[in-house]
Structure 1
Amino acid sequence: MKITVDQLNALVKAGFSPKIRSVNGQTDITDTYEKYGPGIKFTFENGETLKVADNHRMLINNEWIEACELNLGDFIEPHGCISDITHIEHQRWIDFSVRDSSETYYHKGIIHHNSGKSAIIYSLIRHHLEYNRRCLIIVPSISLVSQMYGDFVDYSSDNGWKTENHCQQLQGGMTKDVSKPILISTWQSIFKQPKSWFDQFDVVICDEVHTAVAKSLSGIMEKLTATPYRIGLTGTLSASKTNKLVLEGHFGPVNQVISTNELMTKNQIAQLKIKCLLLKYDQDTRKAVSKYSYQDEIDYLVTNPARNKFIR
């Protein structure tokens, strides 16, 4: 049975785990994420179409390619050559995560990439366990607790390491008594714990560390004074000097593995050109929008007919 991405989103948010095929077989869709941005609709010579965000990655001729790097005439297995490309100015997209060590899934016969940092975290905890260090892994959402645990199970499938013997999950309603050397938790589940509770950990690893500037997560880090090893991972580090100082205060100096500019120089991502248009809205509009939530404000902006007509 085919379902729309909105139906898929609703199922996941309701607690279901729809199945999808990865390179390793059937796997679960564990979480969905909404974003807004430009995209591309491809039409192939067999009549099939594919619509994706322009930075979406697919495996084409054994190479990971972003959608925006594809051109008319490119051959895409199993559909043949691209016969038409339509650029989509701006719309809502739904990404999703899968519980599979390959971080991939099939859609319309094409392998798509679902990148993640769980493999890095897995390598880190395996290293620290060699020295009998107790690890706290903090993730931003409940679904990512079980996803991280599931990823560790997948990574250990061929090496004999028993995730269930080493890792404990903590989310709403679960015990906060830690009986295993690795605890995977959301920050919401532990931020009210006293400092003495945090003293048991030697290592803290924070996924999506750019969220650590939030008051509650910063409060957690301030309680981890007895934890010498602090590691944060993110692919979306804010350029704000204030945010950077907060993160460095909690985790130490930023180690940027590679910059966007370096990736463009190596032709590993599309060349980026930015044109900035500063639009000034009337006083009544600004007053009304000032009461919106962040997401409501974004929704208003991207669907505003006058704005879209002007920037087109």
Structure 2
Amino acid sequence: MILSRRGALAAAAVLAAPSVLRAAPPVLKVANQRGGLRSLLEISGVARDLPYRIEWFEFPAAQPLLEALNANAIDVGSMGDLNFFSVFASGAPIKAISATRSDAASQAVVARPGANIADAGGLRGKKIAAARGGWTHYSLLRILEKAGLAATDVQIAWLLPADAALALRSGSVDAWSVWEPFTSLEILEFNATLVADARGLTPSASFLAAHDRPLAEKAPLLADLVQRVSAGWAWAQDHIPEYARSTAGLLRQPVPVLERAYRVNATRSIPIDAAALREWQEAVDKATAWGVIPKSIRVEQAVQALGSSPA
């Protein structure tokens, strides 16, 4: 039988189709927040020659990101430690697969000019903006505790960052429990005073976290991403001026603000080891007692480390 040219081409297409399908790269659905993972991977250059394709999903904050992760709408994303543990405690099928640590000085309480707050003890009776749950809620309570104060000794206004910044600058609140780069922005651009920071008071960790299903189905891809993110953070710490210039437009922040913030953060990858688990468990237990986390959890049940630990 002699095939026509058109028939031969059609037959070739049918035979080739399985090869084409096999050649299609696997996909990781990765969450991004502005100036976050995507910027880190692309600016540092560690996203070159990926053996898979990243499909990026943009989120304005950690909470909607965690909701999407819980629903398996994304495979993996990055968020702060207590935000993650709070959602895990609610029954979300997610695991922390790698960790970074920023210096706890990156979590601080700043006061508006003229508030006459010299130290944490001066917060008594003052109105303080904070975001409910997560880092700044917990670090504020720890800072107050260290100063011999309780939450009932101050007025806490639960506000998201954009509203908290406006409230501080307008004088509607006296102080703000916040994190970088907002701390550096208020100090450098709006003459805020650093009242206290959370050094020695909080783990100040962040996680890459994945839904259980892609963790079972895409573990090699996720492990590769973990290594690239770790390399990206190492690059960023060695190239702070370049990283600040490259992210200034995305974050809509002045370069000097970001340079200060990145130096204070000093973000680096850390192993998920026994010492880290103990530290996180202590923070989780305290946060649960204070109502920052809805119920007690065993931290080791919330982690499944992928990739090699940094040296």
TM-score of the two chains, using structure 2 as the length reference: 0.30
Q: Which has the higher contact order (CA 8 A, sep 6+)?
A: 2
Flag the structure with higher strand content.
Answer: 1
